[in-house]
A and B are shown apart, each in its own frame.
Chain A
Amino acid sequence: MKFLNPWGFLFALLIPGVIILYLLKQQHEEVKISSTFLWEKTLEDMESSVPWQKFRKNILLFLELLAIALVSLAIARPYQAQQRTGLNYIVLLDTSASMQAEDVKPSRFEKAKAEVAKLIDGMLPDERMTIIGVGSRPSIVVNQTSDKGILRGELNKMKAGNGQSDMQEALSFVMGQLKSLQDAQVYIFSDRGYSLDQEFFQSVISTEKPRNYAVTGVSAAQRPEGSIVLSPIANYSQETAKITVECLADGQTIDVREVTVEAGQTANVYWNNIPPGASQVEVHIMDRDDLLLDNRGWLVLEERQPNRVLMVTDRNVFLEKAIQLREDLDLVKTTYQQAEGMKGFQLYIFDGAVPETLPEDGSIIIFNPDSKGELIEIQGEFRPGRIQINGQSSYLHILDYVQIEEFHIAKASIVEMPPWGEAVLTDGTHPLMIAGERGSQRIALFPFDLHNTDLPLKTDFPILIQNLLSWMLPQVVDRDGRFLSGEEVDIHPLPHAQAVYVITPKGERIKLAPPFPAAPFSETDEIGIYTVEQDLGEELVRGAFTIQVPTHSESDLLAGQEEIELNKAGEGRDNPAGRKEFWPYFIWAAFLFILAEWWVYQRGY
């Protein structure tokens, strides 16, 4: 027999305490009487009638000591040694959105936590456990700890997220760990099974008939008379369901419909009467099901403001045509003389000359600069050779779908490399295209006149210019502002933004920039509408994006369960939860001894 909690024997320290108390108590009160004649007879009488009378004098003490000894044993948790010791447990706990389903009470995640807690309880003192929360980004919650208090504490703090789980990444991490760990056992607690080469213990937590409906997306077609919103409603149950769906615009209920959706099917629901000017639409399934997270979907309806572009040129038809291919531009053309001091544009294009002071409130494209500007120093001219791409550049996306080898340049200026930029194109000796960022301002420099090249004649030219414009005039948020929980959101601040904040659906205000360029926003576990606030100094510009549950992977509560036979992989491995423990017997025995003590006391022996 071994003990799970040898510290429990400290409880036995009570034994000397009780004995001392008894000794103190044994100091009899002295009573002077005439004669002990009859008392001696009484004692003789009692001792002759009860052979173990001498023992009886201290029977209460013995019973108490026995009870304490048994309780100490119980606290020390003796068990039958049935398995190896010194194990390393690695627990992978799925924290994806589907784990919040309540088809298992109180929820799949809580049930899984209870199973992990059982595993922790069953750990021997020399065993260690690593707990990995497997969400959209797996994270190590506790690393190789044998302290059950820490393990339980950290486990209790864990919460299921709203995203998907990247079990593959977690498993590849575990595989790496297994190489250095001996006697490791891997336990996967998830609501789906995984086909694995290794024999891992899998606990799949779900029921056979979960009931779940989901708003799998919300999209809109904007029209002058108002938007039409499409929201597919999916029924992931095994029965046809009548689902009540509500549509809200800016928080006001627009319509409520009852939709009949067959088991496993999706019904498209259109909402025509979205009022013009509405900025946010929410579609909401009103029926209660096992997973409430995916019963809501959001859409942000934003009116696009055209980008104001100032083009300073003598005349450059090629450039003008290529730029005007983009529809959302408000293009203003002017000459050098008039360009000085003009402000308020998102993009400035200087062709042939550069002002002495460059504007700071927008991005800049420069073709064929002269040497007047502060930004650029011209050191002469050269005849470029074969154009090459600088593979190290971080701005290669500007050249997407562009065949650079087709281009030829007759004459170009030798430009000293400015500190903010890097060469994207060179001829091997001098740069032919420089791109870079000054704060939130993006700058591209072409040290040649387009008229001295065959560039405008190539079909790649408009592509290059559009790529350039996309980079120069980014949408604040990509992908029409629709993201899934756990994904990173790239936010492109306006060139003159001084600070960028993201306000979460709960109202938490998170500073994203400075420093510029802004890092991707990754705190996207919460679902709902996030607001992006850009401080331009004089004004605040607001945008929004939505974070939704990845319904394609999380809403089907039965997904992944047919892949393996449950627990098969765990067969033959020791299950600590099945370890034979004896503490309840000791507690019962202690209880019986305490009862006996009470009985003896009542009987007055």
Chain B
Amino acid sequence: MPQTPFDSEFLKKLDRLALSSRMVVKGGTGGNRKSRHKGSSVEFSDFREYVHGDDFRRIDWNAYGRFERLFIKLFMEEQETLVTIFLDCSKSMDFGQPHKGNLAKQLAAVFAYLALANFDRVSLVSLNQRVQSQLPGFSGKQGFWKALKFIEDLPYQGKTSLNRAIQSYPALGFGGGISIILTDLFSADGYREALKYLQYHKQEVTLIHILSPEELDPPWSGSIRLLDSEGEKPCELTLTPQVIKRYKQVVERFIRENREFCHNRGIHYVPVSSDVSLDKVVFENLFQMGLISNRG
């Protein structure tokens, strides 16, 4: 993974952003996100025991006085949300110029940062044909560096089976939350069942579909043997302008079908090319789509 472009200026920019209100979910505990429930912004909701990483300003010192244990006050309109970031770490993501996986990791880091900055809890899950590794729910800005280390160390290996891998992820519960999937969607068993599964678990799903420039516009010509990085059967063909044209049509149709599916199911679908800079993806693509907005 190349040097993470999280310089201070970038972090300041991030600081001003919050996950969009469109990503608001029902329920949850704490956090900086407005609930769909109407009510005063200072309306008390509940207590919760302090865990490492919580904002200590919210500690109820009165409760501490009574019970000698640290509790945090929760308010109805400022609920905490669990943001689960699924990062496709199959071998096919280890590809592209610029590198698809790098962009995915950087975006995962951005989403984690934003979630943490909004006092949401974050889970990071690395997938290939199954759940490869995970960093379960953490919160607080301090958790960000841990998350960054976790992301950095993720290897690219194995095949892609999004349906199987996501459906085998146990820690979603039915409390609702936000699921962000960063993948190239080159999944042998498809991805739609996985998305349905997430929605079943009351997840607000965002699908970031990352493709490299080579995948969008193949630069090769002549007779070539295309070797699948995940070990699938090689594909021999003669690349003529006609074939390239047909390929591009297939790619377009693939993206169109994805978009239609996601639109019909109320899923945010963001197709991204890895040659677009991270800044642009964050501040334009995601912003324009309303996935990220200026904080209140």
- By a beta-carbon cutoff of 8 Å, the part of chain A in contact with chain B is 25-43, 45-46, 57, 603-605
Instruction: Let me know if B284 is at the binding interface, CB within 8 A.
Output: no
Bound CA span A41–B220, Å: 18
The chain A residue with its CB closest to the CB of B187 is A37
Specify the main secondary structure of chain B where it touches its partner: mixed
B243 touches which of A25, A40, A46 (Cβ 8 Å): A46
Q: Mark B82-111, 1 if CB is under 8 A from A, else 0.
A: 000000000111111000100000000000
B214 touches which of A28, A30, A33 (Cβ 8 Å): A33
Q: Let me know if A39 and B92 touch, CB within 8 A.
A: no
Bound CA span A26–B225, Å: 10
Bound CA span A604–B240, Å: 5
Bound CA span A277–B214, Å: 104
Q: Let me know if A605 and B242 touch, CB within 8 A.
A: yes
B228 touches which of A28, A36, A57 (Cβ 8 Å): A36
Q: How far is the CB of A58 from chain B (nearest CB, A)?
A: 10
Q: How far is the CB of B82 from chain A (nearest CB, A)?
A: 31
**What residues of A have a CB within 8 angstroms of the CB of B234 in the complex?**
36
The chain A residue with its CB closest to the CB of B233 is A36
Instruction: Let me know if B230 is at the binding interface, CB within 8 A.
Output: yes
Q: Let me know if A34 and B223 touch, CB within 8 A.
A: no
**What residues of A have a CB within 8 angstroms of the CB of B91 in the complex?**
34
Q: Residue among B92, B236, B238, B243 with the most chain A CB within 10 A?
A: B238
Q: Let me know if A604 and B242 touch, CB within 8 A.
A: yes
Q: Mark B221-239, 1 if CB is under 8 A from A, else 0.
A: 0111111111011111110
Instruction: Let me know if B51 is at the binding interface, CB within 8 A.
Output: no
Number of interface residues of B (CB under 8 A): 41
The chain A residue with its CB closest to the CB of B247 is A42
Q: Let me know if B254 and A38 touch, CB within 8 A.
A: yes
Instruction: Let me know if B63 is at the binding interface, CB within 8 A.
Output: no
The chain A residue with its CB closest to the CB of B100 is A34
Bound CA span A35–B222, Å: 19
Q: Which 6 A-B pairs have the closest CB atoms?
A: A604-B240, A34-B95, A28-B225, A35-B186, A604-B242, A34-B92
Q: Let me know if B224 and A31 touch, CB within 8 A.
A: yes
The chain B residue with its CB closest to the CB of A603 is B242
Instruction: Let me know if B241 is at the binding interface, CB within 8 A.
Output: yes
Q: How far is the CB of A251 from chain B (nearest CB, A)?
A: 78
Q: Let me know if B223 and A46 touch, CB within 8 A.
A: no
**What residues of A have a CB within 8 angstroms of the CB of B243 in the complex?**
42, 46, 604
Bound CA span A46–B215, Å: 18
Q: Residue among A27, A42, A45, A604 with the most chain B CB within 10 A?
A: A42
Q: How far is the CB of A484 from chain B (nearest CB, A)?
A: 77
Q: Let me know if B236 and A28 touch, CB within 8 A.
A: yes
Q: Let me know if B224 and A57 touch, CB within 8 A.
A: no
Bound CA span A379–B240, Å: 117
Bound CA span A4–B227, Å: 53
Bound CA span A38–B228, Å: 11
Q: Mark B179-201, 1 if CB is under 8 A from A, else 0.
A: 00000101010000000000000
The chain A residue with its CB closest to the CB of B232 is A36
Bound CA span A28–B184, Å: 26
**What residues of A have a CB within 8 angstroms of the CB of B96 in the complex?**
34
Q: Residue among B93, B94, B225, B235 with the most chain A CB within 10 A?
A: B235
Q: How far is the CB of A400 from chain B (nearest CB, A)?
A: 98
Q: Residue among A27, A36, A40, A57 with the most chain B CB within 10 A?
A: A36
Q: Residue among B93, B188, B246 with the most chain A CB within 10 A?
A: B246
> Are A34 and B229 also in contact (CB < 8 A) when A28-B224, A41-B250 are?
yes
**What residues of A have a CB within 8 angstroms of the CB of B224 in the complex?**
28-31
Q: Let me know if B226 and A39 touch, CB within 8 A.
A: yes
Bound CA span A30–B226, Å: 6
Q: Let me know if B237 and A39 touch, CB within 8 A.
A: yes
> Which B residues from 231 to 269 make CB contacts under 8 A with A?
232-238, 240-243, 246-247, 249-251, 254
Q: Let me know if B246 and A46 touch, CB within 8 A.
A: yes
Q: How far is the CB of B145 from chain A (nearest CB, A)?
A: 30
**What residues of B have a CB within 8 angstroms of the CB of A30 in the complex?**
224-225, 227
Bound CA span A60–B295, Å: 63
**What residues of B have a CB within 8 angstroms of the CB of A603 in the complex?**
242
Bound CA span A38–B229, Å: 13
Instruction: Let me know if B29 is at the binding interface, CB within 8 A.
Output: no
Bound CA span A44–B229, Å: 20
Instruction: Let me know if B212 is at the binding interface, CB within 8 A.
Output: yes
**What residues of A have a CB within 8 angstroms of the CB of B160 in the complex?**
35
Bound CA span A46–B243, Å: 8
